[in-house]
């Protein structure tokens, strides 16, 4: 083909009218250069650390059946708190201020007190180690548990009770509670209450934590009507994946950097890292002047909004 001064404009015009599918095929078959000219180069994506990523939120609950009682506030939220450093207390997420109206808590008084909470679905050797540390350090905690732990590790749950910890309702089977009707929601909490009472001979503590932190305003309203206070958290980190545990030194630094007055700290006791570092964390917290409170103390005042800075 003979190139003249008119050739390049003609080629450019031809390329501009090539259908996208043909252009894509042509770009794969032709030498690099011609079609690369028209490609928009994309910047490489960099992924932030998972423990610093707020969960996606604001999706609607799939509560579509007319027979379900999906009354007010069916919009699903995922609880999160911004990581702060230097002892700063995190603000309440602006789109979730309604939790205060329905017995929801995430932060205590602006005082040198911490509230340790654990979400425990099963035992892998580390839950017992966590209890050993709490006993040795004389620190109270709250355990949000599932039916599985009661039936398979009854002695462990009995130990939680006997050693002065609160044992609380994390539902029976850890479902997405934002998809439930009020009847289904009530039945799920009641199922956990029953297995606990039948096995332990006592009532479960009336504190509820939504599985994965997913909830609707209606969920909070329903829990409150059942006598439950819903407990969120003001600090958590990526500790739940047993196959991808953070190195101990990094985890200690991360948790201590995020510690603040009145913190409700969420940890997973199945984490080997947490079991390893908890003695050091507790000693450091004590050295920083912190004491350890209970959820009964946290919720005693009943007004969440005045606890914020």
pLDDT tens-digit map of 179-229:
999 999 999 999 999 999 999 999 999 999 999 999 999 999 999 999 999
pTM of the predicted structure, to 2 decimals = 0.76
How confident is residue 74, by pLDDT bands cut at 50, 70 and 90? Answer: confident
Residue 265: beta bridge partners? Answer: 116, 235
Q: Whose CA is closest to 61, among 53, 73, 69?
A: 73
pLDDT digits (tens, 9 = 90+) for 239-261: 999 999 999 999 999 999 999 99
78 phi-psi bin (left φ>0, alpha ψ -120 to 50, beta other)? beta
Query: What's residue 17's pLDDT?
Result: 41
pLDDT digits (tens, 9 = 90+) for 15-57: 444 444 333 433 333 333 333 333 333 333 333 333 333 333 2
At residue 62, the 3 state secondary structure works out as coil
Question: Over 90: is that where the pLDDT of 308 sits?
Answer: no
Q: DSSP secondary-structure letter at 30?
A: S
CB 89 within 8 A of CB 260: yes
Q: Which residues are catalytic?
A: 119, 268
Tell me the mean pLDDT in the region 167-188: 98
How confident is residue 163, by pLDDT bands cut at 50, 70 and 90? Answer: very high
Query: What's residue 68's pLDDT?
Result: 40
Percentage of the chain with pLDDT > 70? 73
Lowest mean pLDDT among 6-10, 160-164, 181-185, 296-300: 6-10
Judging by beta carbons within 10 Å of its beta carbon (0-12, 13-18, 19+), is residue 108 exposed, middle or buried? buried
Rg of the chain taking only CA atoms, in angstroms: 26
CA distance 270 to 210: 18
> H/E/C letters for each residue in 176-190?
CHHHCCHHHHHHHHH
Query: What's residue 158's pLDDT?
Result: 98
Question: Which long-range contacts link 250-258 to residues 24+ away (Cβ below 8 Å)?
Answer: 251/277, 252/277, 252/280, 252/281, 252/284, 254/51, 255/281, 256/281, 256/284, 256/285, 257/85, 257/86, 258/83, 258/84, 258/85
Lowest mean pLDDT among 65-74, 89-98, 207-216: 65-74
Query: What's residue 58's pLDDT?
Result: 31
Query: What's residue 301's pLDDT?
Result: 64
Find tokens 């305003």 and name the residue: 217
Query: What's residue 73's pLDDT?
Result: 57
Please give the structure tokens belonging to residue 131: 């209890």
Question: Over 60: is that where the pLDDT of 294 sits?
Answer: yes
């Amino acid at each position: 083909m003979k190139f003249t001064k008119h050739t390049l404009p003609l080629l450019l015009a031809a390329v501009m009218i090539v259908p996208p599918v043909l252009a894509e095929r042509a770009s794969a078959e032709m030498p690099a250069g011609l079609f690369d000219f028209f490609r928009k180069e994309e910047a490489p994506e960099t992924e932030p650390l998972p423990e610093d990523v707020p969960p996606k939120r604001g999706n609607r609950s799939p509560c579509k059946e007319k027979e379900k009682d999906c009354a007010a506030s069916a919009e699903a939220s995922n609880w999160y708190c911004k990581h702060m450093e230097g002892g700063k207390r995190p603000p309440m997420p602006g789109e979730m201020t309604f939790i205060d109206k329905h017995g929801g808590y995430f932060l205590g008084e602006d005082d040198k007190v911490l509230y340790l909470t654990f979400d425990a679905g099963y035992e892998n050797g580390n839950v017992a180690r966590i209890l050993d540390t709490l006993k040795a350090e004389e620190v109270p905690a709250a355990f949000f548990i599932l039916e599985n732990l009661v039936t398979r590790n009854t002695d462990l749950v009995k130990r939680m009770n006997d050693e002065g910890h609160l044992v609380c309702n994390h539902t029976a089977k850890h479902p997405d509670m934002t998809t439930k009707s009020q009847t289904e929601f009530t039945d799920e909490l009641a199922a956990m209450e029953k297995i606990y009472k039948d096995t332990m001979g006592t009532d479960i503590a009336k504190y509820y934590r939504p599985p994965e932190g997913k909830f609707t305003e209606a969920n909070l309203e329903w829990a409150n009507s059942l006598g439950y206070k819903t407990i969120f958290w003001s600090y958590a980190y990526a500790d739940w994946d047993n196959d991808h545990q953070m190195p101990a030194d990094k985890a200690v630094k991360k948790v201590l950097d995020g510690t603040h007055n009145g913190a409700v700290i969420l940890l997973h006791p199945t984490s080997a890292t947490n079991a390893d570092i908890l003695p050091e964390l507790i000693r450091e917290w004590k050295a920083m002047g912190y004491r350890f409170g209970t959820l009964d103390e946290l919720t005693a005042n009943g007004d969440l909004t005045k606890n914020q800075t």
